[in-house]
């Protein structure tokens, strides 16, 4: 045995130890199953006229690109450089200071250096330098340029569908460089040559046809809403009514389709219905505009506009005065930052005014659409609701700020105000994991499929870690949030990283606490059907 102590390098070489080394500019083509999404179903792509629909597979060598793919991509880039100042400026001015590097949940969870936001952007910036700047054209690699090859495109596919457009990096960047903008452009460009993922293309294609991502047709929509009415009656004994496609109602209510279809969204949906019934609100839902979410946002600006159009169009057809929106994340990015621009002006509507409190929502003066948490917070502030917070005593609650309402809106206080009024046990997660610094669920922007589960778990690590902290410290047993994607995907994240924490919505808690006029007998269960604390038969009961 040698006296020499083996050097670290040698040591590391002796065992199968280090994952493949990567160089920033060498395309990474390792496509481990569980870390990418299935390609778009060509039939669904054709339905919405997407270019080059075809069967292809990311693990294949040949992606069956159109012959002139390179020309298409470069032309597309040129066009977008003129259309989006964000793109041009952000490609020009990054100094690679590294402030963003450890802000990305995918970087923290995957340990893959290309998930540093700066690196993700360099994947495109190197192409920009090579083809659109003098230095790059002349000096190429020495000036940080890179040839556009099929491998680069494949890498784009891998990493631009490994960013949830959450904008956390943009908070910490000294110039506000927003990787979301780059990812959006990357996806638009990929879609020009028919590279898209099914979890985005199929929902948007469904939504275009049936009015919602799930492809639920109008009669089935009516049925599920009726089932929800039945559930409310079963729990509270109160028969509520949800008007559908009703002309002349005052308010059009739009919410993500998952609310009336998926768990645990369903309980939040029950909460809305109870609230509206209690207020005797003159509202309607619509089967045509039965989707608040907008997977077009994850595809292209054009697709976003095509889907979003239904909301204003339906508001006009039904002749409502204003629009109320349910709990959702990216839906609110579209409504807050895009809707008026892409499909406005909504001159036919009035400035939202709560018929109960008389409050005029001046902050929605142009777009004419109010967030349900603004609406409910205003009700509570004006003492219009009778609430029994003890009916949420089975919960020790924490709240997850969803990326879009947080960083593309600034909706922080309303949900917290509501929680504090409808429940007794609320605990914040650590300061640098909430509000504008909130960590993504890891499944946003159309990445929430089961085939992509491992990537989602990587992305969910920082959030899970913060939840674990409050669970161990305060015994938190429910993570509330106002986003349909969160509600659908956080259960998996929490299951893996924490365990034994439920996911719920704000209006589920509202529904639990709401004392309704028509209620004849005291409630024995919460909206999940679990016995309330203090009621006989409760003993950590239920499923």
Partner 1 sequence: MLETILSQKKGAIAGKWLELIADSYPAGVKILADKDKFTNPVGYILSSEIEVLYDEFVHDQIDSERATIALEEIIRSKAVQDRTPGQSVSFVFLLKDVIRAELKSQVKNKEFAAELAKLEERIDNLACQAFNVYTGCRERINQIRTNEIKRDRDNANRLLERFARKYGDQTVEVASGYDRSEVTE
Partner 2 sequence: MSTLFGVILPYAAIAIFILGMLYKVIKWGKSAVPFRIPTTCAQEETLPWIKRKPHEKLDNPSNNLAVVGRMLLEVLIFRSLWRNTRAEVKADSQKLIYSGSKFLWLFGLLFHWSLLVILIRHCRLFFEPVPWILDVVENIDGMLEIMIPTLYLTDIAILLAVTYLFIRRVVFSQLRYISLPADYFALLLIGGVAVTGVLLRIFFHTDVEAVKELAMSVLRFSPEVPDQSISWLFYFHLAMVCTLLAYFPFSKMMHAGGIFFSPTRNMANTNRVKRHVNPWDYPVKLHPYHEYEEEFHDKMKQAGLPLEKE
Binding to partner 1 (CB under 8 A): which residues in 419-458? Answer: 430, 432-433, 448-450, 453-454, 457-458
| Angstrom distance (rounded) from CA 85 to CA 542 | 54
CB nearer to partner 1: give 57 or 263: 263
From the list partner 1, partner 2, none, partner contacted by residue 19 (C-beta under 5 to 8 A by kind): partner 1
Q: Phi and psi of 426, rounded to 5°?
A: -120, 130
Residue 285, φ and ψ in degrees, nearest 5: -100, 170
Residues between 216 and 245 with contacts to partner 1, criterion CB under 8 A: 216-217, 219-220, 223-224, 227
Q: Which stretch binds partner 2 (CB under 8 A): 65-73, 338-346, 391-399, 493-501?
A: 338-346
By CB under 8 A, tell whether 497 contacts partner 1: yes
Contact status: 521 vs partner 1 (CB under 8 A): no
Positions in 263-282 near partner 1 (CB under 8 A): 263
Whether the CB-CB separation of 200 and 191 falls below 8 Å is answered with: no
CA distance 18 to 282: 63
Task: Choose from partner 1, partner 2, none: what does 227 bind? Cβ within 5-8 Å by kind.
Answer: partner 1
**Residues 465-504: x/- map of binding to partner 2 (CB under 8 A)?**
--------x-------------------------------
Residues 15-54 contacting partner 1, CB under 8 A? 15-22, 24, 30, 32, 34-35
Cα(186)–Cα(201) distance, integer angstroms: 16
Pick 122 or 526: Cβ nearer partner 2? 122
Residue whose C-alpha is closest to residue 54's, from 32, 76, 69 = 69
* x/- track of binding to partner 2 for residues 280-319 (CB under 8 A): -------xx------------xx--xx--xx--xx--x--
- Asked if omega into 426 is within 30° of 0 (cis), the reply is no
CB of 504 to partner 2, least distance (A): 23
What's the closest the beta carbon of residue 335 comes to partner 2, in angstroms? 8
> C-alpha distances in angstroms, 56 versus 28, 63, 319?
19, 6, 45
Q: In what order do the strands lie in the sheet with 251-254?
A: 283-284, 251-254, 322-325, 369-371
Our finding on whether 140 is near partner 1 (CB under 8 A) is no
The DSSP letter of residue 369 is E
Site for partner 2 (CB under 8 A): which residue of 34, 76, 217, 390?
217
Asked if residue 244 binds partner 2 (CB under 8 A), the reply is: yes
Q: In angstroms, how far is CA 383 from the centroid of its own chain?
A: 32
Which phi and psi (to 5°) does residue 309 adopt? -50, -35
User: Among 374, 401, 486, 526, which residue interacts with partner 2 (rule: CB under 8 A)?
Assistant: 374
Please give the full DSSP string across 109-164, using - where no structure is assigned: HH--GGGSHHHHHHHHHHHHHHHHSHHHHHHGGGGT-----HHHHHHHHHHHTS--
| 377 contributes a contact to partner 2 by CB under 8 A | yes
Q: Could you say which of 113, 319, 533, 542 contacts partner 1 (CB under 8 A)?
A: 113
**Contact partner at residue 517 from partner 2, partner 1, none, CB < 5 to 8 Å by partner kind:** none
Q: Is 491 in the site for partner 1 (CB under 8 A)?
A: yes
Which partner from the list partner 1, partner 2, none does 476 bind, CB cut-off 5 to 8 Å by kind?
none
Within positions 4 to 33, which residues make up the interface with partner 2, using CB under 8 A? 24
Contacted entry of partner 1, partner 2, none for residue 88, CB cut-off 5 to 8 Å set by kind? partner 2
- Token pair recorded at residue 98: 């590294």
Is residue 271 within 8 Å of 423, Cβ to Cβ? no
Q: Which stretch binds partner 2 (CB under 8 A): 4-12, 271-279, 365-373, 388-396?
A: 365-373
Smallest CA-to-CA distance from 372 within 188, 510, 260, 234 is with 510
Nearer to partner 1, 24 or 313 (CB): 24
Subset of residues 318 to 337 that bind partner 2, contact rule: CB under 8 A: 335-337
The 10 Å Cβ neighbour count of residue 108 is 17
- Residues 163-182: x/- map of binding to partner 2 (CB under 8 A)? ----x--xxxxxxxxx--x-
In the list 8, 500, 520, 521, the residue contacting partner 1 (rule: CB under 8 A) is 8
Which of partner 2, partner 1, none is residue 216 near (CB under 5 to 8 Å by kind)?
A: partner 1
Q: Establish if 87 lies at the interface with partner 2 (CB under 8 A).
A: yes
**Of 112 and 414, CB closest to partner 1:** 112
Tell whether residue 51 is a contact of partner 2 (CB under 8 A): no
| Whole-number Cα distances in Å, 435 to 117, 125, 263, 334 | 20, 30, 25, 19
Asked if 259 interacts with partner 1 (CB under 8 A), we say no
Nearest approach, Cβ of residue 341 and partner 2 (Å): 5
What the block records as the tokens of 178 is 């927003």
Whole-angstrom distance, CA of residue 440 vs CA of residue 446? 13
Strand, helix or coil at 262?
coil
Return the sign of the alpha-carbon dihedral for residues 419, 249, 358, 402: positive
User: Omega before 345 cis (within 30°)?
Assistant: yes
Q: Which stretch binds partner 2 (CB under 8 A): 250-258, 401-409, 419-427, 524-532?
A: 401-409
Burial class (CB in 10 A: 0-12, 13-18, 19+), 68: exposed
């Amino acid at each position: 045995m040698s006296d020499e102590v083996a050097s670290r390098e040698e040591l590391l070489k002796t065992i199968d130890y280090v994952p493949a080394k990567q160089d920033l500019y060498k395309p990474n083509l390792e496509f481990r199953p569980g870390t990418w999404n299935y390609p778009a179903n060509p039939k669904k792509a054709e339905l919405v006229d997407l270019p080059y629909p075809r069967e292809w597979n990311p693990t294949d060598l040949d992606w069956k690109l159109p012959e002139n793919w390179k020309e298409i991509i470069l032309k597309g880039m040129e066009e977008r450089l003129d259309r989006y100042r964000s793109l041009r400026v952000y490609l020009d001015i990054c100094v690679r200071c590294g402030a963003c590097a450890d802000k990305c949940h995918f970087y923290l969870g995957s340990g893959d250096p290309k998930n540093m936001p700066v690196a993700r952007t360099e994947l495109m910036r190197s192409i920009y330098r090579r083809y659109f700047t003098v230095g790059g054209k002349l000096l190429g690699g020495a000036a940080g340029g890179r040839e556009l090859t099929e491998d680069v495109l494949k890498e784009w596919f891998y990493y631009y569908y490994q960013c949830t457009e959450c904008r956390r990096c943009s908070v910490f960047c000294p110039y506000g460089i927003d990787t979301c903008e780059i990812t959006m452009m990357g996806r638009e460009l990929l879609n020009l040559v028919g590279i898209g993922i099914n979890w985005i293309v199929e929902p948007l294609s469904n939504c275009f046809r049936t009015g919602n991502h799930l492809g639920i047709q109008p009669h089935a929509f009516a049925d599920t809403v009726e089932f929800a009415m039945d559930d409310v009656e079963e729990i509270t004994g109160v028969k509520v009514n949800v008007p559908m496609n009703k002309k002349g109602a005052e308010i059009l209510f739009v919410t993500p389709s998952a609310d009336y279809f998926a768990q645990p969204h369903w309980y939040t949906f029950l909460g809305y219905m109870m609230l509206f019934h209690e207020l005797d609100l003159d509202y309607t839902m619509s089967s045509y505009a039965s989707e608040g979410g907008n997977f077009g946002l994850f595809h292209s600006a054009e697709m976003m506009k095509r889907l979003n159009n239904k909301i204003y169009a339906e508001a006009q057809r039904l002749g409502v005065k204003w629009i109320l929106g349910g709990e959702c994340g990216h839906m609110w990015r579209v409504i807050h930052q895009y809707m008026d621009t892409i499909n406005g002006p909504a001159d036919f509507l009035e400035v939202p005014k709560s018929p109960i409190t008389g409050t005029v929502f001046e902050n929605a003066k142009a777009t004419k659409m109010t967030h349900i948490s603004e609406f409910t917070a205003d009700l509570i502030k004006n003492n219009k609701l009778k609430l029994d917070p003890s009916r949420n005593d089975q919960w020790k609650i924490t709240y997850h700020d969803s990326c879009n309402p947080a960083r593309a809106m600034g909706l922080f206080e309303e949900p917290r105000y509501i929680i504090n009024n409808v429940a007794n046990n609320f605990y914040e997660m650590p300061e640098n994991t909430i509000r504008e610094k909130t960590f993504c669920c890891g499944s946003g922007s159309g990445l929430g499929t089961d085939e992509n589960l491992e990537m989602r778990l990587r992305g969910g690590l920082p959030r899970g870690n913060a939840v674990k902290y409050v669970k161990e410290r305060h015994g938190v047993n429910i993570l509330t949030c106002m986003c349909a994607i969160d509600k659908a995907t956080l259960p998996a994240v929490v299951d893996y990283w924490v365990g034994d924490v439920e996911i719920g919505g704000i209006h589920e808690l509202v529904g639990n606490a709401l004392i309704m006029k028509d209620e004849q007998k005291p409630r024995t269960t919460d909206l999940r059907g679990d016995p309330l604390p203090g009621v006989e038969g409760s003993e950590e009961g239920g499923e």
